[in-house]
Structure 1
Amino acid sequence: MTQAPTLIQLDTLAVGKSGTVVHVAPGNYEDGHDLARRLMELGFVPGERIRMLKRGMPGGEPLAIKVGNATFALRRFEAALISIQPE
């Protein structure tokens, strides 16, 4: 019997840990712009490997995330839309 992989939201990934994007949930900014589309355009697409580089202080925002060869700063609510399989 195989177990389904454990998925977590990107905003809960520990600093220095890596994972693979599995899903980006739909979401909108307050002005109505499609947040999931923006995240996918930045490279947060299923199958892409990511790494949590750093959390800002105080409050842990923004999150510095490495995707491919690029580094992005995400707010916690943005990162919460991204489901990953941790390594």
Structure 2
Amino acid sequence: MTVLTLDALPVGASATVVQVTPGNAADDGVSLARRLMELGFVPGEKIRLLKRGMPGGEPLAIKVGNSTFALRRFEAALISIQAE
């Protein structure tokens, strides 16, 4: 099982969420991780990277269930996934 973070997933690829890691405590990372989980980034959930913004590849458009969310790269880096 290869685990990587969501920010490394290629465009068009699907994956399963493994875990959401709290970010930097100075940035109130626990509440950021909680917000991501409330949006649907929970272990076992299927996700798909739809598109990366230009320039710089931000934001990332992620499909979770029937919803699409835009995440910044540092937010996506908190989500560990298993690519399909």
Task: Give the TM interval when normalised to the shorter protein.
Answer: over 0.9
Aligned residues: 83
Q: Does 1:27 align with 2:40?
A: no
Question: Deviation string for 1:15-61 (max 9, x for gaps)?
Answer: 00000000100125866361100000000000000000000000000
The residue that corresponds to 2:65 in the other structure is 68
**Structure 1 residues 36 and 55, CA gap change in structure 2 (3 angstroms):** same
Match of 2:33 among 32, 36, 44: 36
The unaligned stretches of length 5 or more in structure 2 are: none
TM-score (normalizing by structure 2): 0.93
RMSD: 1.5
Which residue in 2 is equivalent to 1:80? Answer: 77
Amino acid at match of 1:26: P
Q: Is 1:29–1:35's contact at 8 Å kept on the other side of the alignment?
A: no
Cα distance in 1 between the residues matched to 2:21 and 2:37: 10
Decide which structure has the larger Cα Rg and report it: 1
Match in the other structure for 1:14: 10
- What TM-score, normalized to structure 1? 0.90
Distance in 1 separating the partners of 2:18 and 2:76: 13
DSSP 3-state at the match of 1:37:
helix
The residue that corresponds to 2:52 in the other structure is 55
